[in-house]
Chain A
């Protein structure tokens, strides 16, 4: 028998089913931890990518004079472009990064991202961190000589 209460039950069930249907249309989760399927290797400092080979141009020695331009280079192994964020800072325990690169997205293969604050870097030890979402997938330290 259809009474008011039964109508409500029916409405609830219908809405519940509707919700379940809506859920099934969600896109599949690509991954829970991006670092599981994305690999970063050969992280180093360089002078950019060579036009002909698309490989990093090696850097000999780091002095104040040759830090402009300076690039962080690496090889990204992934099935698609990834929004890497590159943080870099002068080394210090509590110091927060003073620069963040927002080049994006990074295509699979070799990449070069410019570390540029518009003037030569002063001597000392610097740290570079490469993040993919909340995961740190690469880390590099370099020393600039006077």
Chain B
């Protein structure tokens, strides 16, 4: 990368000044890019050709799908649990399909379950992801759930997850949309537990790891 020295000369300058030069060059390039794009040179325009496309990324999920899985947990009001999940998702912007497996662990605070296990099914939508392969990796999850619990429990839940980078544990932004990759799931579940409470409610917080086990690119997708 040109740190400013190639074009300006940096003999004897401090690192700080070199950095300033580099920033000034980058800002200058940005202005030139914007100007050339407006003049009709598409090489200087971004992939998000206009603000409506960026708006689409912000307001609509780029990836949609379904999921199903099973879980088990143990404890008394403050509990720990784990789940395994399979999802089938489709990125309508790129025409990519993927089958994914997710393994997650969570902490639970809410109505006591004692010992519980169950199954769930639901819908998945992902915002901000420009490519299906951005979905593989670690995520941080938070979930809220409500249920009718008479030993056998029927419930519904909402989960939101943010993708973490592979190298360092921080939230990752998609290279194209420049948005955090946010997966939202709505599920219904059927389960059994040894501490029925009639009406139950809880929140969970945890980590999960997703792997793409199969994928397909529709070749003619625009």
Listed in ascending order, the chain A residues whose CB lies under 8 Å from chain B are: 8-9, 11-13, 15-16, 18-20, 22-23, 26-27, 29-30, 32-35, 83, 85, 87, 89-100, 102, 104, 117, 121-122, 124-125, 129, 131-135, 141
The interface of chain B, by Cβ under 8 A from chain A, is 1-2, 23, 26-27, 29-30, 33, 36, 41-48, 70-72, 82, 84, 94, 96, 101, 103, 114-118, 130-131, 133-134, 136-138, 151-152, 163, 165-167, 172, 175-178, 191-194, 196, 209, 211-213, 215, 217
Whether A117 pairs with B43 at a CB distance below 8 angstroms is yes
A131 to B196, CA, bound (A): 48
Which residues in A have their C-beta under 8 angstroms from that of B43?
90, 98, 117, 121-122, 124
The 6 tightest CB contacts between A and B, nearest first, are A15-B117, A93-B26, A16-B117, A19-B72, A8-B151, A133-B136
**Contacts A22-B70, A30-B211; is A102 near B82 (CB within 8 Å)?**
no
Tell me how many residue pairs across A and B have CB atoms closer than 8 Å. Answer: 146
Are B215 and A8 neighbours in the complex by a CB distance under 8 Å? no
Q: Which residues does chain A contribute within 8 Å of B48, judged by CB atoms? A: 96
Prevailing SS type, chain B contact patch: mixed
B101 touches A27 (CB 8 A): yes
A12 and B117 contact, CB distance less than 8 A: yes
| A12-B192 contact, Cβ under 8 Å, with A32-B209, A100-B131 | yes
Determine the chain A residues whose CB is within 8 A of the CB of B166 once the complex forms.
32-35, 133-135
* Partner of A83 from B33, B45, B133 at Cβ < 8 Å: B133
- Please indicate the chain B residues that have their CB under 8 angstroms from the CB of A87 in the complex: 175-176
* Nearest CB of B to A140, in Å: 11
Chain A residue nearest to B48 (CB atoms) is A96
Residue contacts A-B, CB under 8 angstroms, 24 given:
A8-B192, A8-B194, A12-B115, A13-B115, A15-B117, A22-B70, A23-B103, A29-B211, A32-B166, A35-B166, A87-B175, A89-B46, A90-B43, A91-B29, A93-B23, A94-B30, A100-B176, A122-B36, A122-B41, A122-B44, A125-B2, A125-B29, A134-B137, A134-B163
Find the A residue at minimum CB distance from B82. A23
Q: Please, how many angstroms separate the alpha-carbon atoms of A97 and B173 in the complex?
A: 13
The smallest beta-carbon distance between A54 and chain B, in angstroms, is 24
- B212: A residues at CB distance < 8 A: 83, 133
- Taken together as a complex, chains A and B put the C-alpha atoms of A92 and B212 apart, in Å, by 32
Q: Which of A27, A32, A34, A96 makes the CB contact (< 8 A) with B138?
A: A32
Q: Is the CB of A92 within 8 A of B29?
A: yes
Other-chain contact of B46, A15, A96, A132 (Cβ < 8 Å): A96
Q: Are A131 and B175 in contact (CB under 8 A)?
A: yes
Given that A12-B192, A92-B29 are known contacts, is A23 also in contact with B46, CB under 8 Å in the complex?
no
Which of B44, B72, B116, B178 is within 8 Å of A20, CB to CB? Answer: B72
With both chains docked as a complex, state the minimum distance between the C-beta of A63 and any C-beta of chain B, in angstroms: 14
CB contact between B115 and one of A16, A89, A104, A141 (< 8 Å): that residue: A16
Task: Give the contacting residue for B217; candidates A16, A95, A97, A104; CB below 8 A.
Answer: A104
Task: Give Cα distance in the complex from A96 to B30, angstroms.
Answer: 11
